[in-house]
Amino acid sequence: MNKSIRQAVFIVIAAAIVFGGVYLVSHPKGNGTAVDGQGLQDPVVQQQIKDLEAKVSSNPQDATLLSQLGDLYITGYQFDKAESVLRKAIEIDSGNAVYHFQYGLSMFYQGKAADAIAELRRAVSLDDQSVGAHYYLAIALSHNGDNAGALTEYQKVVALAPDTSLGQKAKDAISRSGGSTSGTPGPGQTPGAAALSASTTGKVGSTLSLDGAAVKVESVKDWSGDGTLKAGEGKKLVQVNARVTNQGDKLLAVSADRFAVADGTGMVTPIMQGYLDRFPTTDLAKGESATGVIIFEVKSDAKLTVLYKSSSFGSGFVTFEMP
């Protein structure tokens, strides 16, 4: 896997979705909404990988087995391995929409945004009735700065399955965006401060409220990590430790991409990296909390401000300044 920093891309996409009648692997703690890191240590998942690797070794031309193995690799955050086996599955059966979908996910997790979107588009071209494919293509486009394209895909989800969970999520995304495609940010950037409406400003360590969420940025510090990530010249890695609690009566969607950091050059989005403490993507019921770590690559000498946005479209936010 390419270990270089790709601050332009962060996405956490569900490993438990319905795609053309096929169910991908589900995490016991993922609530059907996100890969939550458990695959890195879950002995059941690891044993499933070993078993499937043995089957694929004996049946290297079985595209179904390759697809299943690729899905498990994604579950276990072995994205480069997933990309390799899913490429082989497509070579065997290039007309299978599911394989293109999985292949797209494996590349997006590695920060290969353009290639991932191309594969997701290929998936919907092969199966235009797939609610899951349209939904996750919308997410990919949104995270890559194409809000207009994302809205189109969300609208297709609503048209195909308005009463499903994905249909409701698509409706929520459209509502948060105001149904507008104006002010679309460039790749890797959230809208500029002038396009947003700050609600409250506080210090790191404080708790601020936004749209039913109680948001606490507990700390901001340099990230030493395990040596697998390296910042670019004139840059450093920082980690933001945060907690979000749902204080409202409705489900609250949370994810790492709600966070951003301003470092004097603009708003920096999180970098994608699979590790156990990362901030989850999930829906919180009233009283539930999500905690985790978000990593950013920022200017070495910058004074940082952390932002939490009301949605990935950034219609409102609260800010946390360094003490």
38 and 134 together in one domain? yes
Give the DSSP H or E segment for 307. Answer: strand 305-309
Question: Do 170 and 226 fall within a single domain?
Answer: no
Domains identified in the chain, total number: 2
Do 113 and 207 sit in the same domain of this protein?
A: no
The H or E element spanning position 321 is strand 317-321
* 7 within some domain: no
Residue 23 sits in the same domain as residue 168 = yes
The larger pLDDT score, comparing residue 3 to residue 310, is at 310
- Is residue 33 a part of any domain in this protein? yes
pLDDT in the model for residue 317: 77
**Residues of the chain above pLDDT 90, percent:** 28
Of the ranges 32-46, 111-125, 137-151, 256-270, the best mean pLDDT one: 111-125
Residue 290 and residue 314 share a domain:
yes
Q: Which domain does 165 fall in, by range?
A: 18-177
In this structure, of 157-161, 194-198, 226-230, the range with the lowest mean pLDDT score is: 194-198
> Are residues 216 and 315 part of one domain?
yes
My answer on whether 214 and 256 are in the same domain is: yes
As a whole number of angstroms, the distance between CA 306 and CA 223 comes to: 15
Together in a domain, 98 and 246: no
**Cα gap 160→128, rounded to integer Å:** 10
pTM for this entry: 0.53
Contact at 8 Å (CB) between 209 and 200?
yes
- Is 49 within the bounds of a domain? yes
Task: Quick: pLDDT tens for 249-298.
Answer: 888 888 887 888 887 766 666 765 545 567 777 788 889 999 988 888 88
Q: What is the pLDDT of residue 94?
A: 96
- DSSP tag of 258: G
Same domain as 76, residue 50: yes
Q: What is the pLDDT of residue 50?
A: 92
- The per-residue pLDDT for 31 is 26
Q: What is the CATH number of the domain that holds 201?
A: 2.60.40.1240
Residue 87 placed within a domain: yes
Gap between the Cα atoms of 215 and 235, Å rounded: 27
pLDDT confidence bin for 111, thresholds 50/70/90: low
CATH number, domain of 101, equals 1.25.40.10
- Tell me, yes or no, whether 271 lies in a domain: yes
115-146: burial string, b at 16+ Cβ within 10 Å, e else = bbbebbbbbbebbeebbbbbbbbbbbbbbbbb
Is beta strand 259-262 parallel, antiparallel or unpaired with respect to 267-268?
antiparallel
Cβ burial 166-190 (10 Å sphere, 16+ → b, else e): bbebbeebbebbeeeeeebbeebeb
Lowest mean pLDDT among 117-131, 167-181, 186-200: 186-200
